[in-house]
Chain A
Amino acid sequence: MNCSDWEERVALHAGGDLPPAEAADVERHLRECAGCQVLASGLKQSLALLKEAHDEPLPPAHFSAVRARVVAELEQKGRPLWRRAWGYGLAAAVVALLVMLALQPGRTPERRPPVVAARRLSQPLSNVRGSESTSEPRTLESGTDPRHPPPHRRVARHVARPNVPATPDPEPLIVKLQTDDPNVVIYWIADRKRGE
């Protein structure tokens, strides 16, 4: 057996990697072989140099720099995810709200021209109010626009004109706005000037 056959075991012995029995064999060989003694000495010396060179502690700033970078990246990755979720939620809520508003029938303004009919009041406003409350709401067929039949109107405008002849002081024009809700009736009283 020549020395090259011992090289691996000498190298392992230099690092303390051999079990006791094999270590004893190597030590016996080293006592008899000058070449392997040089090899073993060189191995131990180079290992000692390597360890010494790498034993020097690193400045703490090098470690904290890594930690800071990791934490910053984790925060950066976490934040957009949360923000994205929040942003998507907000956007979905806005879209849902817009869709609801668009589909809500009561909110859709009719494009038809307003139907306005006027009739002179034949009785005081208080009586009109009273009669309206006990009878069916009047839809003034005579005053409706033939292009737009009344059943689909959302707001029918009733204008009452008095049947009495015109007096020097014209009576006010009363416009009754009837909504879909029978409980909600709006009266609009406008002063009429002579000649109007």
Chain B
Amino acid sequence: MERMKALALLAMVGPMDGSEPSESALEAARAGDLAAFDLLMRQHERLVLVTALRLLGVLEDAQDASQEVFLRLYKNLHKVETSGNLSGWLYRVTVNVCHDAQRKRQVSAPVEDAAELPSLTADPQRTAVEAERRRALEMSLRMLSEKERAVLVLRDLEGLSTEEVARALGTTEATVRSQVSKARVKVRDFLERYFRRRT
């Protein structure tokens, strides 16, 4: 019986590829069906956790932020009126939650020390060169301002269009273009300086 229910919910939610859920799945979740909400989370967990990880750089912090995002989603399911804007809503809330987390974290771990925090996926097999490169890339993101980092992550790493980024961040496309161009140049300058100094 439980299995049948799970299969029915899976059919309602659709494939786990981040595509928008059906209205019936949202309705079930709104009605307090935790199983339906769990499946909504499965569908959007990559979006939320990976974005949070790219913004925060530390897995534990990203998981905390993801938890907060999904709790806010559960609380505000009635505000997500149509299934079509759920991803946009999640991106916006994820960015906001991560910004809050960064501000709190700056008290205990200054930005300049953030590069010393554990890398995304610590792998003992990784070569020293690759580990160094990863570290540099992480640091290059941390050199950006909050807004520049959010724009770069959403546009270049998440692959959203300029219009989608503007909608998610509540800003204009012109602002997004300005910020993303600055962010790209800063990252390139940082990496160039970093590797030139190392070699």
Contact = CB atoms under 8 A, between A and B. Distances in A.
Nearest to A12: B181
Given A46-B140, A47-B156, A58-B49, A66 B70 contact: yes
A99 interface: no
Interface stretch (A69-77, A107-115, A117-125): A69-77
Contacts of A43: 184-185, 188
Contacts of B45: 63, 66-67
A11 B178 CA distance: 10
Contacts of A67: 38, 41-42, 45, 70
A71 B188 contact: no
B67 A70 contact: yes
B7 interface: no
Interface residues of A, number: 33
Contacts of A9: 181
B31 interface: no
A65 to B, nearest CB: 6
A97 B50 CA distance: 57
A15 B66 contact: no
Contacts of B54: 54
A17 B185 contact: no
B80 interface: no
B66 A66 contact: yes
Contact of A71 (B34, B140, B162): B34
B37 interface: yes
Contact of A66 (B49, B133, B137, B180): B49
Given A66-B45, A70-B70, A49 B191 contact: yes
A53 B70 contact: no
B105 interface: no
Contacts of A11: 180-182, 184-185
A6 to B, nearest CB: 11
A28 interface: no
Contact of A15 (B37, B38, B184): B184
A46 B180 CA distance: 14
Interface residues of B, number: 42
Contacts of A47: 156, 184, 187
Interface string B129-158: 000011001001100000000000001110
B177 A12 contact: yes
B184 A53 contact: no
Which among B42, B66, B162, B182 has the greatest number of chain A C-beta atoms within 10 A? B66
A54 B34 contact: no
A50 B51 CA distance: 14
Interface of A: 7-9, 11-12, 14-15, 17, 39, 42-43, 45-47, 49-51, 53-54, 56, 58, 62-63, 65-67, 69-71, 73-75, 78
Interface of B: 32, 34, 37-38, 41-42, 45-46, 48-50, 53-54, 59, 63, 66-67, 70-71, 74, 120-121, 133-134, 137, 140-141, 155-157, 162, 177-178, 180-182, 184-185, 187-188, 191-192
26 contacts: A8-B177, A8-B181, A11-B182, A11-B184, A12-B180, A12-B181, A15-B155, A15-B156, A17-B180, A42-B188, A47-B184, A49-B137, A50-B187, A53-B120, A53-B134, A54-B120, A56-B120, A58-B46, A58-B53, A63-B46, A67-B42, A70-B67, A70-B70, A71-B37, A71-B38, A74-B34
